[in-house]
Amino acid sequence: MHKLTIAGIVEGLGRGDFSSEEITRHYLRRIEQLDARYNSFISVTPDQAVARARAADKRRSKGDAPPLCGVPIAHKDIFCTEGIRTSCGSKMLDNFVPPYSATAVDNLAQAGCVTLGKTNMDEFAMGSSNETSFYGEVGNPWDTGRVPGGSSGGSAAAVAAHLCPAATGTDTGGSIRQPASLCGITGLKPTYGRVSRYGMVAFASSLDQAGPMTRSAEDAALLLQAMAGFDPRDSTCSDIEVPDYSAGLDKPIDGLRIGLPREYFEQGLDTGTETAVRGALAELEAMGARLVDIDLPHSHLSVAAYYVIAPAEASANLSRFDGVRYGYRCKNPRDLNDMYTRTRTEGFGDEVKRRILVGTYVLSAGYYDAYYRQAQKIRRLIKNDFLAAFEQVDVIAGPTSPTTAFEMGAKSADPVQMYLEDIYTIATNLAGLPGMSIPAGIIDGLPLGLQLIGNYFDESRLLNIGHRFQQATDWHQQTVSQCMQEV
């Protein structure tokens, strides 16, 4: 059963091949027996899952099944889940049980999904390797000595290891796409505003966006369909109508104009990565797409601008963790100041503190103009680059990540090296555009993704291209035999 995609599970449940309770128990058993290898889950919720699965089976037998009725999935531990601990990978929220669920979680529950548990992640979604989690690092299922990417590393590893058929993730600078690339799965970051951010622990509010992490583009369409839509509780959530994402999957792609940014291909691109990406592009070309060279002249400024804007927003968002309202509080504070100081000193990890320091600095009087305002101006230039490019092409393609999965510890001592992991993904967040990573090759036994960047609210096109590519290739079906093991 763990070989099935979401589309396959929906069919199997519909035909009565198995019940939701059976497949839910199957995945719970896999998590229990295999996750010690990967550490991809922070919390597993067997009782709630089985109860929800039984309710789904009952609904189905009454002929009243919503589209994903009884499909088990996992949620990144950044999404608030009513009555289920939501840690955000931090000691600060180790004891936090939210009284409500995020809209994305609620929407998936409305569509019938069953929650298996909450997946591991970099602390407060800050990282590219899942090594900053309070709950320990996550092993990449392709090689457990290597990182799964981050910050949605637990979700990516869990899907790749067949511990769940799909999971949610969030992407502030690449956190859905980069782990998807490193774990050989499909990950879609929608347009900013497509999915509600309500109930998602905020990192950088103008960049954060939730999306699906799946084994196919077809599955990403099914999940996004349920997640997306207007939410009056998030003022940045768009009320543009949600199209039928599955309807357009099979459309032919001949005549499609794919832009290849010179900046992504010319400057020091790893040769293995280039070979895999060019191979995938040749495949799309063979299907009738046209490859067009384009320029994104301000690309080289995106990481620098992001590491001013994201920490600035994080420093404001994380000020709420002060030991007063909820979450961790230090023992025996002497006075109010001592409580604030020790709560935050003891509750946050190093990377989070680094971001808070940088963010506070760039927002302070005297530096605001020199750093924050400049970064915002660069952000506009980056957005304009994309707008100009989309005058010439329908979609933009390039690598998702600079290389395949690196060894644990290889970059943790050098924050700048780690920050460069997102060199191809960050501009998309700064511009608010949708981006998707699909498996496009295997180099020395490790998977790597192709990134597709779309125009605003053009997720349908990304899913269509991804699906056509996956009909013609089998990179997305590759897996290590250890992950297919029966339990």
Does residue 174 bind ligand GLN (CB under 6 A)? yes
In the set 175, 315, 401, 460, the catalytic residue is 175
At its nearest, how many Å lie between ligand GLN and the CB of residue 467? 25
Are the C-beta atoms of residues 130 and 349 closer than 8 Å to each other? no
Is the CB of 430 or the CB of 438 nearer to ligand GLN? 430
Q: Given candidates 44, 56, 69, 125, which one binds ligand GLN under the rule CB under 6 A?
A: 125
At its nearest, how many Å lie between ligand GLN and the CB of residue 475? 23
Tell me, residue by residue from 260 to 299, as one string, x for binding to ligand GLN by CB under 6 A and - for no binding: ----------------------------------------
At its nearest, how many Å lie between ligand GLN and the CB of residue 160? 18
Is the CB of 125 or the CB of 276 nearer to ligand GLN? 125
Q: What is the DSSP letter of 76?
A: E
At its nearest, how many Å lie between ligand GLN and the CB of residue 176? 7
Could you tell me which residues come within 8 angstroms of residue 294 by beta carbon, excluding any fewer than 6 positions away?
Answer: 259, 260, 261, 262, 389, 392, 393, 396
CA-closest candidate to residue 373, choices 431, 305, 297? 305
76 is catalytic: yes
Is the CB of 52 or the CB of 177 nearer to ligand GLN? 177
Tell me, residue by residue from 81 to 120, as one string, x for binding to ligand GLN by CB under 6 A and - for no binding: ----------------------------------------
Kindly provide the residue ranges of all beta strands, DSSP E only, lying in 321-473, ordered along the sequence: 395-399, 435-443, 446-454
In the set 90, 133, 151, 152, the catalytic residue is 151
Spatial strand order of the sheet with 435-443 comes to 41-44, 114-119, 72-76, 167-171, 209-214, 186-189, 435-443, 446-454, 395-399, 257-261, 290-294
Residue nearest to ligand GLN (CB): 175
175 is catalytic: yes
Give the span between the Cα atoms of 426 and 355, in whole angstroms.
16
Q: Given candidates 35, 422, 458, 459, which one binds ligand GLN under the rule CB under 6 A?
A: 422
Give the span between the Cα atoms of 1 and 25, in whole angstroms.
11
481 is catalytic: no
CA-closest candidate to residue 122, choices 26, 187, 39, 12? 39
Could you tell me which residues come within 8 angstroms of residue 285 by beta carbon, excluding any fewer than 6 positions away?
Answer: 291
Q: Which residues are catalytic?
A: 76, 151, 175
Contact residues: ligand GLN, CB under 6 A = 125-128, 151, 171-175, 203, 310, 422
